[in-house]
Amino acid sequence: MHNLIAANWKMNPISQEEARNLFNSIKKGIGSAQAEVVICPPFLYLPAIAEGNGGLALGAQNIFWEEKGAFTGEISGAMLKDLGVEYVIIGHSERRKYFGETDEIVNKKIKKALESGLKVIFCIGETAEERDAGKKNKILERQIKNGLADIENWKLKIENLAIAYEPVWAIGTGNNCSVEETKESIDYIRNLLALSHAEGVNTRILYGGSVKSENSGDYIKNAGANGLLVGGASLNAEEFIKIVTSAE
Ligand code: PGA
């Protein structure tokens, strides 16, 4: 399985034209990269980008856990699939923090996404306070256990699920987690997955949090990461292309 490099554009850029230009520059620069690359723009830009995606996978940044009906403002897995979307990010710390997403909500969304045939990038990670209080492993264990509760083994095949380890204190701060600490957490997560789900042992585990081209290769080569979830640096085509190349 190739390394997975995901671009999380969050709520950027602010026009369709910029979104299309950014996407086209990334597509052009990536050429025949070995890594699997997935671009996760805001929902609104997905149709325009899907038309000329040229082999780059598309991802959504959110999903709702019902298929259709009276859920104002929501978007379902069936709708995303219909557009040709392959991946969805679930459990991102910004959704947990600003939109009150609990482990239970995250679990419902993961189940629905897998049922809809989407691949999931499931984000977990501890806050600075939790880390300082020595609770990191407990938090990671809780998020994994609850997030993946009642999901059948076969649905967690390697191609269906990736876990993104994103320490909350490292996101958007420029303060990326050290390779040593990341390795410890990735090893811990891998062990947990192996214990809870037979298929979990092969799950791709990504690192995210202030990834840039100067540090990206190190996570792949020395921390045991099978990919990266890139926020800020994915808005700069040249920088993002360097990150993708570093993951080969
Ligand atoms: P960042 O964001 O690369 O800007 O730190 C990562 C993320 O939130 O997924």
Query: Ligand 1, atom 7: nearest CA belongs to which residue?
Result: 231
Helices then strands, counting H and E runs in the chain, come out as 10, 8
Rounded mean pLDDT of 70-90? 97
**What confidence tens digit (pLDDT) does each residue in 186-236 have?**
999 999 998 887 777 789 999 999 999 999 999 999 999 999 999 999 999
Residue 54 has pLDDT above 80, yes or no: no
Q: What is the pLDDT of residue 236?
A: 98
Mind telling me the catalytic residues? Answer: 92, 166
Distance CA 38, CA 42 (A): 13
Q: How confident is the model at residue 158 (pLDDT cuts 50, 70, 90)?
A: confident
Q: What is the pLDDT of residue 211?
A: 98
DSSP 8-state symbol, 63: -
- 232, amino acid identity: G
Query: Ligand 1, atom 1: nearest CA belongs to which residue?
Result: 231
Q: Ligand 1 pocket check: which of 166, 175, 219, 242 to mutate, most ligand atoms within 8 Å of Cβ?
A: 166
Strand partners, 64: 76
pTM, two decimals, is 0.97
Delimit the domains of the chain by residue range. 4-246
**What confidence tens digit (pLDDT) does each residue in 16-36 have?**
999 999 999 999 999 878 899
The atom number, within ligand 1, closest to the CA of 212 reads: 3
Q: What is the pLDDT of residue 164?
A: 98
Q: What angle do CA 110, 112, 116 make, to 5 degrees?
A: 115
Distance CA 83, CA 171 (A): 29
Q: Is 93 in the pocket of ligand 1 (CB under 6 A)?
A: no
Q: What is the pLDDT of residue 136?
A: 98
Chain-wide mean pLDDT for the chain?
95
Class of domain 4-246: alpha beta
Q: Is 209 in the pocket of ligand 1 (CB under 6 A)?
A: yes
Q: What is the pLDDT of residue 200?
A: 75
**Centre of ligand 1 from the C-alpha of residue 219, in Å:** 15
